[in-house]
């Protein structure tokens, strides 16, 4: 059992709220769900839609064919009708309805007006969809309780029931199950992970698609006692976070490409001052302002070397909400452990798509700060950058110990932190900083492998394309094709074991990426000499889906 519903309309029509409520209803019925948003860079008008796919087994992406379209404007009919499956239905207002088969024109606007609020037309349609799917109304009170503010709750419940009466069940979803899952978007998972990971200071500047991370953290400020500051620009955002981290709290910032460009100068500052810092770059298509609300994996090459000079950095790409939640903790711990810059690479598809998954395990998490707890040995002249055996210097919170002062410097410096022009000290400090990567190598996570052992075809992917790639591999394996995929989470330093193992036997190696240049393939070639023989690339700003990957592999590779 599996269905896909598209909810489409203009910005400002309340599509997002409606889709959100519908998702909660489906989830409450115990189904697995995947949803993603497609929206335009405008506040009113334009065309926005949410695709909700649900099933009785786990889902990792969206599907292009649709069972139900909820059309709140003519544009939705025009753009998406072709995707309707045979036997599917389009729900819309009677005014929009024409002669098409499967078109269910309902008196949405009229009934909404009669109920006393034209804005509840969507909820009426939602009621109709719930009935089409054969859902019972049991247990939905709670969803309404959560989704609608008290002032408008009653009328929305009425509207839902009004719609529910209008139709008869047409789909069979099978039995409803107990709801044991959570439904969370990628950005929400990153924000929740940051809260669990002990982030106490967050400074950021709004930029789609990273903004919702800041919004969620900001909502929780008073309750958690953290500080979220909206900076004057991204330069300030990252420098503030570095200042807060130097002073001793866990600090983080997030942005998207253009903002990340502005942050590059300060990446080096975090690097040379060895200040722990986590920066999330939520990618959208560039260059410049690009496609503000859409998705791409176009910043990989840039972030690998962003900033002047050489600094150690770690780059982790996140794959799905669950992975994001755990990786952000790991990023925060590693940043503290190695006094290192960790860049978490996500994108619009990751950030704006939601999934059901099991509740996260908070009890297994630890906040590991690696801060000096006692008076440091060298406290007379505290050596912040002491050249130690393993290259990691003792880190002290300034102000914690009487008599101990901590000096951090963006210039090349000696062990105390004072400016130096000594060639020997430069060498020692460069090596001390870069050596961290050697240590880090020991705890890298290998890319996960999906598919049959000894594949004839090996796909390479990273980050948010994991979901669609996983599904595509499953489909092809079922068809008997010997294919597998390595999906990278840790990207830099590049983990090599699995890559070398699988690449040795594959006949063809295909990189699947959402960019033009095949940036991951380049990185792999540069680091290992392993060449991808084929590429499936996409750079239209729209996320991959499994169907499309399967079709393109068949057409372009096999």
Nearest distance, CB of residue 388 and other proteins, angstroms: 21
Closer residue to other proteins in complex, CB, 170/247 = 247
Alpha-carbon distance 213 to 210, whole Å? 6
Query: Is 225 a binder of other proteins (CB under 8 A)?
Result: yes
Q: Contact between 220 and other proteins (CB under 8 A)?
A: yes
Q: What is the total count of residues that contact other proteins (CB under 8 A)?
A: 69
Q: How far apart are CA 542 and CA 549, in angstroms?
A: 13
Position 218 contacts other proteins (CB under 8 A): no
Shortest Å distance, C-beta 58 to other proteins: 17
| 128 in contact with other proteins (CB under 8 A) | no
| Token pair in block for residue 269 | 């500052």
Q: Is 399 in the site for other proteins (CB under 8 A)?
A: yes
- Consecutive H or E run containing 300: helix 300-305
Q: How far is the CB of 264 from other proteins (least distance, A)?
A: 11
**At closest approach, how far in Å is the CB of 550 from other proteins?**
31
- Nearer Cβ to other proteins, position 237 or 509? 237
Tokens of 524: 């792999």
Cα–Cα nearest to 187, from 161, 224, 218:
218
Which residues pair with residue 62 across a beta bridge? none
**367 is an interface residue for other proteins by CB under 8 A:** yes
Helix (H, G, I), strand (E, B) or coil at 420: coil
- For other proteins, which is the closer residue by CB, 237 or 300? 237
Which two tokens mark 481? 């094709």
By the rule CB under 8 A, 184 interacts with other proteins: yes
Candidates 60, 123, 188, 256; binder of other proteins (CB under 8 A) is 188
CB of 509 to other proteins, least distance (A): 38
Q: Does residue 329 interact with other proteins by CB under 8 A?
A: yes
Query: For the window 487-506, what string marks contact with other proteins as x by the rule CB under 8 A?
Result: --------------------
Q: Which tokens hold the place of 167?
A: 């139709």
Considering only residues 231 through 270, tell me which ones interact with other proteins, judged by CB under 8 A.
Answer: 231-233, 235-237, 239-249, 251, 265-266, 269
Does 74 interact with other proteins (rule: CB under 8 A)? Answer: no
SS3 of 433-500: the string is HHHHHHHHHCCCCCCEEEECCCCCEEEEEEHHHHHHHHHHHHHHHHCCCCEEEEEECEEECCCCHHHH
Residue 106 near residue 163 (C-beta atoms within 8 A): yes
Q: Between residues 80 and 384, which has the closer beta carbon with respect to other proteins?
A: 384
DSSP string, 202-238: EEE---TTTHHHHHHHHHTHHHHT-EEEE-SSHHHHH
Q: Counting every residue, how long is the chain?
A: 558
39 belongs to the binding site for other proteins (CB under 8 A): no
Q: Is 378 in the site for other proteins (CB under 8 A)?
A: no
Q: Which of positions 271-290 make contact with other proteins (CB under 8 A)?
A: 273
How far apart (Å, rounded) are the C-alpha atoms in residues 521 and 213?
Answer: 30
* From candidates 7, 315, 345, 406, binder to other proteins by CB under 8 A: 406
CA distances in angstroms from 266 to 25, 275, 317, 555, listed in the order given = 45, 11, 21, 45
Strand partners, 492: 315
Please state, in angstroms and rounded to a whole number, the distance separating the CA atoms of residues 148 and 155: 10
Q: Does 227 bind other proteins (CB under 8 A)?
A: yes
For residue 439, what are the contacts with CB-CB under 8 A and spacing of at least 6? 338, 390, 391, 392
Classify strands 448-451 and 483-488 as parallel, antiparallel or unpaired. Answer: antiparallel
Is there a contact between 301 and 366 (Cβ–Cβ < 8 Å)?
no
Q: Does 486 bind other proteins (CB under 8 A)?
A: no
| 499 φ, ψ (degrees, to nearest 5) | -60, -50
Q: Does residue 404 touch other proteins according to CB under 8 A?
A: yes
Structure tokens at 450: 């999906």
Asked whether position 36 contacts other proteins by CB under 8 A, the answer is no
User: Is-cis flag, bond preceding 91, omega within 30?
Assistant: no
- Choose the binding region for other proteins from 125-133, 284-292, 354-362, 476-484 (rule: CB under 8 A): 354-362
From candidates 222, 288, 423, 504, binder to other proteins by CB under 8 A: 222
Residue number with CB closer to other proteins (221 or 551):
221
- The answer to the question of residue 192 lying near other proteins (CB under 8 A) is yes
The binding track of 415-444 with respect to other proteins, each residue x by CB under 8 A or -, is --xxx-------------------------
Q: Which stretch binds other proteins (CB under 8 A): 405-413, 492-500, 501-509, 519-527?
A: 405-413
Q: Which residues bind other proteins (CB under 8 A)?
A: 182-184, 188, 192, 195-198, 200-201, 203, 220-222, 224-227, 229, 231-233, 235-237, 239-249, 251, 265-266, 269, 273, 329, 359-360, 362-363, 365-367, 381, 397-411, 417-419
């Amino acid at each position: 059992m599996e269905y896909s519903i598209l909810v489409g309309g203009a910005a400002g029509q309340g599509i997002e709220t409606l889709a959100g409520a519908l998702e909660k209803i489906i989830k409450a019925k115990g189904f697995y769900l995947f949803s993603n948003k497609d929206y335009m860079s405008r506040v009113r008008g334009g065309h926005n839609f949410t695709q909700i796919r649900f099933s009785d087994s786990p889902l990792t992406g969206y599907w292009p064919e649709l069972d139900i379209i909820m059309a709140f404007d003519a544009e939705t009919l025009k753009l998406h009708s072709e995707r309707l499956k045979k036997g599917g239905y389009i729900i819309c207002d009677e005014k929009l309805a024409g002669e098409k088969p499967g078109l269910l024109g309902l008196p949405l606007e009229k009934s909404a007006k009669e109920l006393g609020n034209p804005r509840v037309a969507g909820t009426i349609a939602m009621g109709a969809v719930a009935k089409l799917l054969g859902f019972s109304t049991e247990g939905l009170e709670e969803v309404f309780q959560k989704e609608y503010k008290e002032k408008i709750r009653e009328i929305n419940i009425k509207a839902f029931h009004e719609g529910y009466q209008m139709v008869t069940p047409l789909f069979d979803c099978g039995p409803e199950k107990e709801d044991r899952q959570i439904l969370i978007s990628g950005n929400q998972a990153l924000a929740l992970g940051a809260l669990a990971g002990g982030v106490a200071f967050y400074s950021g500047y709004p930029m789609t698609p990273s903004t919702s991370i800041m919004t969620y953290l900001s909502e929780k400020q008073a309750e958690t006692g953290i500080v979220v500051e909206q900076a004057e620009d991204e330069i300030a955002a990252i420098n503030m976070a570095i200042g807060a981290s130097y002073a001793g709290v866990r600090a983080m910032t997030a942005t998207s490409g253009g903002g990340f460009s502005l942050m590059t100068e300060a990446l080096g500052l975090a690097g040379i001052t060895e200040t722990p810092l986590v920066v999330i770059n939520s990618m959208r298509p560039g260059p410049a302002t690009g496609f503000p609300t859409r998705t791409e994996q176009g910043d990989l090459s840039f972030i690998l070397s962003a900033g002047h000079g050489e600094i150690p950095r770690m780059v982790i790409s996140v794959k799905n909400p669950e992975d994001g939640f755990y990786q952000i903790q790991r990023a925060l711990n590693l940043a503290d452990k190695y006094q290192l810059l960790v860049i978490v690479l996500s994108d619009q598809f990751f950030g704006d798509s939601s999934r059901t998954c099991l509740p996260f395990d908070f009890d297994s998490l630890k906040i590991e700060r690696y801060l000096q707890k006692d008076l440091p040995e060298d406290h007379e002249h505290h050596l912040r950058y002491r050249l130690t055996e393993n290259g990691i210097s003792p880190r002290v919170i300034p102000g914690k110990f009487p008599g101990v002062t901590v000096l951090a410097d963006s210039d090349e410096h000696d062990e105390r932190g004072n400016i130096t022009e000594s060639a020997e000290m430069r060498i020692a400090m460069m090596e001390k900083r870069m050596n961290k990567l050697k240590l880090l190598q020991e705890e890298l996570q290998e890319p996960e492998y999906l598919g049959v052992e000894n594949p004839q075809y090996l796909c390479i992917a990273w980050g948010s394309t994991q979901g669609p790639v996983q599904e595509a591999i499953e489909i092809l394996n079922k068809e008997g094709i010997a294919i597998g995929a390595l999906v990278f989470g840790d990207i830099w330093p590049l983990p090599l074991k699995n890559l070398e193992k699988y690449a040795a036997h594959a006949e063809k190696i295909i990189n699947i990426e959402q960019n033009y240049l095949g940036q991951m393939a380049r990185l792999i070639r540069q680091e290992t000499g392993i060449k991808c023989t084929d590429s499936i690339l996409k750079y239209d700003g729209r996320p991959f889906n499994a169907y499309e990957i399967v079709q393109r592999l068949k057409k372009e590779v096999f």
